[in-house]
A and B are shown apart, each in its own frame.
Chain A
Amino acid sequence: MYSTEFAKDPHAVIREVRAESPIASSERGIELLSYSLCEQVLRDPRFAVGFDEMMEATGITAGPAHEVIVNSINNTEGEHHRRLRQAIAPHLAPRAVEELRARLREVVESRLAEVEADGECDLVETLTQWLPATAFCLLTGAPLADRQLIGELSDKAQRFFEMKPLNREDVEAGLADVEAYMDELLVARERDPGDDVISGLLLSERNGELTRNEARNLSIILLAASTDTTSGQITFTFAALADDPEAFRQLRANDNLAKNAVLETARYSPGLWTAPRFAREGGEIEGHAIEPGTQLNAFFLAANRDPEVFEEPDELKIERKLPRPPLNWSSGRHFCPGRPLAVLEIEEAVRAVARRWRRMRLLGPIESRGAPYIVAPTKAPIGFEPEGEVAT
């Protein structure tokens, strides 16, 4: 998986391996390459999300960063987990985030208006580092002036996903910054409540549905988890549409395809490649014995193109009815409650570009880091062609 062959064409390698078996071993553990196995493992309570293990692999076994991460909504189970999910769910539900659509559209429009007359820009600089951070501000009542800072905060804090001791300092410092930022915001919202998520969580605390620590933890995770993943997916969605002028033409002809186009491009080119699970007690999958402590990897890059689920999986078809959702946002009890907001943001980005330009194309390779976990593009040169211009 870390080979040059894989880096060049991961899908070719996946196809070849999957033809042998949907369960494969790798340097890091076991890889699950089919949709049904990924779904099964993500949902199986015997397999832990394992933020404890991931923090330990980063060299963090105690302290405030550890405390926040292991007690997060992502990592807890049972009654504690249920309480956290129930508190945040209404605030991120489709109907709730719909309220942000008009504001997000304005932000996208104003950012795209900055693209120079030559129609060329770095997508990361122009759009992706702004849009999810803006959505976070609108959602939480954080000042819009903090947008850039918010993007940077999220970036460092979540590097424990890479499980590298090298990232220890970034993760600890990043989380300390996120905590400090959020503690200030909590005080501000407490003093001056609004109809934002943070005020909502504080209300849940007053109603006895959450402890103070839980409201704080949810707020911190909201910041740490909301920007980088969505930023990455905007870039990969744009790249997929840039690569397929016919799909972009279809989108221009029918604005109603936008949401489906977002889900289909997320399936076709996910920004989140894999999610690990940890078989603490060991177990068994499809007759394969799993040793205690094994890292199981739900390989979204593979599952999203499983021919058992998706017809012609290597084709991008933005009008297709997806028989199952792409796994980018996981499945089961830890399904990402932020999906509606992420999809809404990407949808508005795609819509705005389709309204404005006739086609788009990548002008060079996308530079990124974080693979094979959360792939975060750092540079994505892109060109937009105005109406009437003849493609060369």
Chain B
Amino acid sequence: MIVQVDRDECIGAATCVNEVPAVFELDEEGIARVIAPEVDEAMTTAVEDAVSICPVEALSIVE
């Protein structure tokens, strides 16, 4: 699974960072960044949850 952030849409609410801090962090501009694009299998459900609760729908699963 690969997850990505749309930087134009991200508002830096950190909802994904709160949900799965092992996968997401905020960069120096306060925009969400995926720490390692290839998501560990054990994390897939948590990442799917993070994608679905983003308030501005800035996250997507690409494969």
Is the pair B13, A332 in contact by a Cβ cutoff of 8 Å? yes
Whether a CB of chain B sits under 8 angstroms from the CB of A331 is: yes
In the complex the two chains form, what is the Cα distance from A92 to B53 in whole Å? Answer: 8
Minimum C-beta distance from A392 to chain B (A): 42
B44 at the interface (CB under 8 A from A): no
Q: Known contacts A323-B8, A325-B9; is A340 also within 8 Å of B55 by CB? A: yes
Q: Contact at A332–B11, with CB atoms within 8 Å?
A: yes
Q: A43 to B28, alpha carbons, bound, how many Å?
A: 11
Give the distance to chain A from B46, nearest Cβ to Cβ, in Å.
12
Say what secondary structure dominates the interface of chain A: helix
Q: Is the CB of B11 within 8 A of A331?
A: yes
Q: Which of A319-342 contact B (CB under 8 A)?
A: 323-325, 329, 331-333, 335-337, 339-340
* Chain B 20-63 interface 0/1 with A at a Cβ cutoff of 8 Å (1 = within): 00000000001000000000000000000100111111000000
How many Å lie between the Cα of A333 and that of B57 in the bound state?
16
Check if B5 is an interface residue, CB within 8 A of chain A. Answer: no
Report which of B8, B49, B55, B57 forms a contact with A335, defined as CB distance below 8 A.
Answer: B55
| Inter-chain contact A95/B52, CB cutoff 8 Å | yes
Q: How far does the alpha carbon of A380 sit from the alpha carbon of B32 in the complex, in Å?
A: 40
Minimum Cβ distance to chain A for residue B5 (Å): 14
Would A331 and B12 count as touching, CB distance under 8 A?
yes
Of B11, B30, B49, B55, which one neighbours A92 at CB under 8 angstroms? Answer: B55
Q: Shortest beta-carbon distance, A285 to chain B, in Å? A: 15
Q: Is B15 an interface residue (CB 8 A)?
A: yes
Min C-beta distance of A40 to chain B, whole Å: 9
A180 within 8 A of B: no
Instruction: Tally chain B residues at the interface, Cβ within 8 Å.
Output: 17
Contact count A vs B, C-beta below 8 Å: 56
Question: B55 touching A339 by the CB < 8 A rule?
Answer: yes
User: Does A370 sit at the interface, judged by CB under 8 A?
Assistant: no
A144: Cβ under 8 A from any B Cβ = no
Residues of A within 8 A of B30 (CB): 43, 332
Whether, in the assembled complex, A26 has its beta carbon less than 8 Å from a beta carbon of chain B, the answer is no
Query: At the interface, yes or no: A90 with Cβ under 8 Å from chain B?
Result: yes
Q: Main SS of the interface on chain B?
A: loop
- CB-CB < 8 A to B18: which residues of A? 82, 85-86, 89
Q: Judge if A94 is at the interface, Cβ distance under 8 Å.
A: yes
- In the bound complex, CA of A340 to CA of B19 (Å): 18
Which residues on the A side are within 8 Å of B12 (C-beta)?
A: 43, 331-333, 335
User: Could you tell me the distance between the alpha carbons of A356 and B54 in the complex, rounded to whole angstroms?
Assistant: 33
Chain A neighbourhood of B14, CB < 8 A: 85, 332-333
Give A94's nearest chain B residue, CB to CB.
Answer: B57
Chain B min CB distance to A380 (Å): 28
Q: Which of B8, B9, B53 contacts A93 (CB 8 A)?
A: B53
Do residues B53 and A89 form an inter-chain contact, with CB atoms below 8 A? yes
The interface residues of chain B lying within 8 Å CB-to-CB of A324 are 8
**Alpha-carbon distance between A144 and B26 when the two chains are bound, in angstroms:** 40
Residues of B with C-beta under 8 A to A331? 11-12
- Within A210-255, the residues touching B (CB, 8 Å) are none
Q: Given A89-B53, A339-B55, A339-B56, are A333 and B13 also a contact pair (CB < 8 Å)?
A: yes
Which residue on B lies nearest to A322, using beta carbons? B8
5 A-B residue pairs with Cβ-Cβ distance under 8 Å, sorted by A, are A89-B18, A90-B53, A94-B54, A333-B13, A339-B56
10 cross-chain pairs, A with B, having the tightest CB-CB distances, nearest first: A335-B13, A93-B53, A332-B12, A89-B53, A86-B18, A43-B30, A335-B11, A90-B53, A89-B15, A95-B52
Question: 5 extra interchain contacts, Cβ-Cβ under 8 A, other than A332-B12, A333-B13, A340-B55?
Answer: A43-B30, A85-B13, A89-B18, A92-B55, A336-B55
